[in-house]
A and B are shown apart, each in its own frame.
Chain A
């Protein structure tokens, strides 16, 4: 199999008043682990339940309650690590991150500061223009989500919903390898795609099941290369962390506006403070979340309620063996096996379900034709009805049937579109529909000739003009198609028209 090869993208440059500036970006993506139960309790993780209905005694931090690790969540983290080609740490440990907030009942979040379960990995981020960047993953650790505080239901009181409390999150930390807002969005998109392939996170950003903290700093051109050589962060600017972004659009806008804010500060002779900021999409600005005086000291220490998490290599190997084909491999295979363009292969492999659909259609048929039909006709039609590929009324077998009819020249491409619409709306076997509704292409030259002769006889003036100007032959083709209800084989019609006009 061919490896996909790409050029390195250029870093985004923002022109300041005095200099050009480059961006350096690292992301911490919080991905909710797909699991029925929480990380340390048996409570359900179902979204949209009545407030405080999915809460165990452990989640509510009742006195004397103790956490017990959910093995499935560990398996999901390992699967994710393997999917990101990362090192799996056979021994990891849980730490407590201490802070007070009403939606954090224990008064600490159980996380993995010192010994995360997954170490270094990498993600290939394609930018769709023939360039791609290899973004290094620093680590992935498991941690508990917090609950939800609701401040706008009552003028005097705040409400707390603990349904989300204790749900397992994977925090996926990248190195500062990302060089622009578009790259950041492409990275999150790629990560989301891989996690969805793996089935370890549903990637639903709207529900907050995937969100990102974005670290942004600026530097002068050339400084980043020095950092790369030395891995010494002092070559880079001071970073600010923009918290809790749950849309690709906001991620890009926030990075851009934050970079511009930092550039303005530095160019005015000031210093960027390392701090946590929030993005306000309404005003398109970032704001400091808390002052230095309020800066948290999380007092991390190993959670004494939990033993170190020890897993066995054999178990990791079993998970490795059960991994599905991942996007990069699938895309590469599609390009090789079905002669697809990079673009078409990317579109088809964006979701595992669409890739699977395409493969069933393409198997034993014309791959390129199948790709065109899936991308242009099927996706377009599904989008019109706001349907997912998994809800497609046209099955791969039905679409495959249509493609076979085209390849066999039983129907024309134009008729095929009508046929597709019929199958989409009414269902049925495409071959039977073509037969029953007389949609077969007319390849019988006798019938076409008769129709053409009639047209020639009826339009002597047109014939004369066309003899002088061969471009007008198209008019006769159109007339024949009209007369045969579109079923005439266009190739045969073209040939006959050319013959007759040449006489």
Chain B
């Protein structure tokens, strides 16, 4: 078999079980692809020794007939996950040289199921960004280009390295995390599938926190089936995470029947934004038609508080972040600034954090500090929490009215060029999250599925939002959409 790195999880798993390939072969193919893809800057810490060791162990397990779900499948791991003995920096200078003594629950679940780690993937610093441009490692680059234009494009963010790596076939799949759209937006920008499960499905233990009430891990894969396989392994009840839910994880792959007859799919009118590009509008309409053709009922619905979601998100997420990032103080680990004669603890904090955090992180820490400060707490943070409750209720109401899933665009546009937003108002960048943040605020599962290309040949995705804890049903609807859309485009190799 050639181009083993181009396989998806399901195909590779079946080939491994049949004995057609070995995990070592798969892993070597990926390692070679990674070596050749320096221009994408997707992998920022490579772990070939660990990968080959895990691959050999996986091959041995497969040989004995003990081949759990992810056995022998080479993955990339977002830098936000703490991986034991391997650099885990959350894309930040402040965690320079940090190698945890522990393994995050999600990666441990994957490794327990036999997965192979190829290395750590680029991301926006502390997952704060929509273009992977805030990373201390420099931006990851999308493998996609606009026609023959060789301008570099963003793979999206914050899981930009994951998106770039999966899209460019440097690995079979990757982990991502999603606080406001960080799995779904980059997946849409790079023509892959990404699902954020219901808040509480995946343990947050060992995942560097951005905004605790919003953060969820999820898979970024080459197909919906792959997402189902990998998500099932990532999910677990974890007593070490008080927000993790004690609920059985179903066999998601077995639920992929493609039969969505009679399902009610909601089209929320508030997501039809002013100035929405015609291409996005068409993509959305086409998606609805595909689902209708597959037997679903398409229903216009209203989620009236949608327009308040983005401002509420940009209060709550920075507020939590400002507190979560207080631990990076130079005292115990990571970067500590050189101090001048006479400097005390305050100077140590100030210099360390000024040097260690990039501008976007600093901006959000300052916003978060501001909205929590005495005199502003009620006007900002408390009000944002109330909005959040209303947004959650919007969804509860439509689900209670019998809607099974909600179809929206994943992003307001196709991928933009790296550097194009540099001089823009930060709010322009935040608008990338407009279709995705509601899902995090409401704690719901959301999946991005590639369904088309724009006029310049760049991938576009649609988002499906599901009922809480019903990822199986959501994946099945996504599977039907994927089947109908038949998206097979791949970026031409230029790197």
A85 to chain B, nearest CB (A): 31
- The interface stretch among B15-23, B180-188, B237-245 is B237-245
Q: How large is the interface on B (under 10, 10 to 19, 20 to 34, 35 or more residues)?
A: 35 or more
Query: B69-101, CB under 8 A of A: which get 1 and which 0?
Result: 000000000000110000010100001001011
Known contacts A60-B332, A106-B327: A66-B242 contact under CB 8 Å: yes
A72 to B473, CA, bound (A): 40
A67 to B345, CA, bound (A): 26
Query: B356-383, CB under 8 A of A: which get 1 and which 0?
Result: 0000000000000100111001000100
Given the complex, which residues of A lie within 8 Å of B421, measured CB to CB?
none
Task: Out of A62, A69, A105, A306, name the residue touching B331 (CB < 8 Å).
Answer: A105
- Inter-subunit contact A304/B212 (CB<8 Å): yes
A302 to B292, CA, bound (A): 44
Q: Hey, which bits of chain B sit against chain A, CB under 8 A?
A: 81-82, 88, 90, 95, 98, 100-102, 104, 204-209, 211-213, 239-243, 319-320, 322-323, 325-327, 329, 331-333, 345, 349, 369, 372-374, 377, 381
Nearest 5 A/B pairs, CB to CB:
A107-B326, A304-B212, A299-B372, A304-B213, A61-B327
- Inter-subunit contact B345/A304 (CB<8 Å): no
- Inter-subunit contact A107/B242 (CB<8 Å): no
- Inter-subunit contact A160/B331 (CB<8 Å): yes
Known contacts A63-B88, A63-B208, A64-B206: A107-B327 contact under CB 8 Å: yes
Known contacts A63-B82, A64-B204, A107-B327: A301-B100 contact under CB 8 Å: no
A123 to chain B, nearest CB (A): 32
Chain B CB within 8 A of A6 CB: no
- Inter-subunit contact A100/B349 (CB<8 Å): yes
- Inter-subunit contact B239/A62 (CB<8 Å): no
Closest partner residue, chain B, to A162 (CB atom): B332
Given the complex, which residues of B lie within 8 Å of A100, measured CB to CB?
326, 329, 349
- Inter-subunit contact B326/A63 (CB<8 Å): no
A299 to B372, CA, bound (A): 5
- Inter-subunit contact A57/B331 (CB<8 Å): no
- Inter-subunit contact B372/A98 (CB<8 Å): yes
A64 to B144, CA, bound (A): 33
Given the complex, which residues of A lie within 8 Å of B102, measured CB to CB?
57, 62
Chain B CB within 8 A of A68 CB: yes
Known contacts A62-B333, A66-B242, A306-B242: A105-B327 contact under CB 8 Å: yes
- Inter-subunit contact B205/A64 (CB<8 Å): yes
- Inter-subunit contact A297/B373 (CB<8 Å): yes
Query: A39-82, CB under 8 A of B: which get 1 and which 0?
Result: 00000000000000000010011111111110000000000000
Given the complex, which residues of B lie within 8 Å of A101, measured CB to CB?
345
Known contacts A68-B239, A297-B373, A304-B212: A63-B323 contact under CB 8 Å: no
A-B contact pairs, 29 of them (CB 8 A): A62-B332, A63-B208, A63-B209, A64-B205, A66-B240, A66-B241, A68-B241, A69-B242, A98-B323, A98-B372, A100-B326, A100-B349, A105-B332, A106-B326, A106-B327, A107-B323, A107-B325, A108-B326, A297-B374, A299-B323, A299-B369, A299-B374, A299-B377, A301-B319, A301-B323, A301-B372, A304-B212, A305-B243, A307-B242
Chain B CB within 8 A of A320 CB: no
Chain B CB within 8 A of A96 CB: yes
Query: A281-323, CB under 8 A of B: which get 1 and which 0?
Result: 0000000000000000101110011110000000000000000
B82 to chain A, nearest CB (A): 5
Closest partner residue, chain B, to A106 (CB atom): B327
Given the complex, which residues of A lie within 8 Å of B204, measured CB to CB?
64, 66
- Inter-subunit contact A102/B381 (CB<8 Å): no
Given the complex, which residues of A lie within 8 Å of B332, measured CB to CB?
60-62, 105
A396 to B349, CA, bound (A): 60
A296 to B212, CA, bound (A): 24
Task: Out of A106, A107, A301, A306, name the residue touching B377 (CB < 8 Å).
Answer: A301
A234 to B327, CA, bound (A): 40
Closest partner residue, chain A, to B206 (CB atom): A64
- Inter-subunit contact A64/B381 (CB<8 Å): no
- Inter-subunit contact A107/B372 (CB<8 Å): no
Q: A100-B329, A107-B326, A301-B320 are in contact. List 8 more A-B contacts (CB 8 A).
A: A57-B101, A60-B332, A64-B100, A64-B204, A66-B241, A106-B326, A299-B322, A299-B323
- Inter-subunit contact A304/B206 (CB<8 Å): no
A251 to B95, CA, bound (A): 44
Given the complex, which residues of B lie within 8 Å of A407, measured CB to CB?
none
- Inter-subunit contact A62/B100 (CB<8 Å): yes
A108 to B239, CA, bound (A): 22
A426 to chain B, nearest CB (A): 56
A485 to B105, CA, bound (A): 82
Task: Out of B90, B104, B212, B381, name the residue touching A305 (CB < 8 Å).
Answer: B212
By DSSP majority rule, is chain A's interface helix, strand, loop, or mixed? loop
B59 to chain A, nearest CB (A): 31
Given the complex, which residues of B lie within 8 Å of A459, measured CB to CB?
none
Query: A102-129, CB under 8 A of B: which get 1 and which 0?
Result: 1001111000000000000000000000
A306 to B241, CA, bound (A): 8
Given the complex, which residues of A lie within 8 Å of B241, measured CB to CB?
66, 68
Closest partner residue, chain B, to A40 (CB atom): B242
Chain B CB within 8 A of A341 CB: no
- Inter-subunit contact B372/A63 (CB<8 Å): no
- Inter-subunit contact B95/A63 (CB<8 Å): yes
A114 to B81, CA, bound (A): 32
With a 10 A CB-CB cut-off, give which of A98, A108, A299 has the most chain B CB atoms. Answer: A299
B244 to chain A, nearest CB (A): 9
Closest partner residue, chain A, to B370 (CB atom): A299
A160 to B239, CA, bound (A): 30
Chain B CB within 8 A of A158 CB: yes
Given the complex, which residues of B lie within 8 Å of A307, measured CB to CB?
242-243
A496 to B207, CA, bound (A): 94
A456 to chain B, nearest CB (A): 90
A101 to B207, CA, bound (A): 24
Known contacts A68-B239, A297-B374, A305-B243: A102-B88 contact under CB 8 Å: no
Given the complex, which residues of B lie within 8 Å of A69, measured CB to CB?
242
A304 to B320, CA, bound (A): 8
Closest partner residue, chain B, to A306 (CB atom): B242
A107 to B329, CA, bound (A): 8
A107 to B323, CA, bound (A): 7
Given the complex, which residues of B lie within 8 Å of A106, measured CB to CB?
326-327
- Inter-subunit contact B207/A64 (CB<8 Å): yes
With a 10 A CB-CB cut-off, give which of A62, A63, A64, A106 has the most chain B CB atoms. Answer: A63
Task: Out of A65, A158, A301, name the residue touching B205 (CB < 8 Å).
Answer: A65
Given the complex, which residues of A lie within 8 Å of B212, measured CB to CB?
304-305
A299 to B369, CA, bound (A): 7
Known contacts A98-B323, A301-B323: A64-B372 contact under CB 8 Å: no
Given the complex, which residues of A lie within 8 Å of B239, measured CB to CB?
68
- Inter-subunit contact A108/B323 (CB<8 Å): yes
Given the complex, which residues of A lie within 8 Å of B101, measured CB to CB?
57, 62
A160 to B348, CA, bound (A): 15
Task: Out of B104, B319, B325, name the residue touching A64 (CB < 8 Å).
Answer: B104
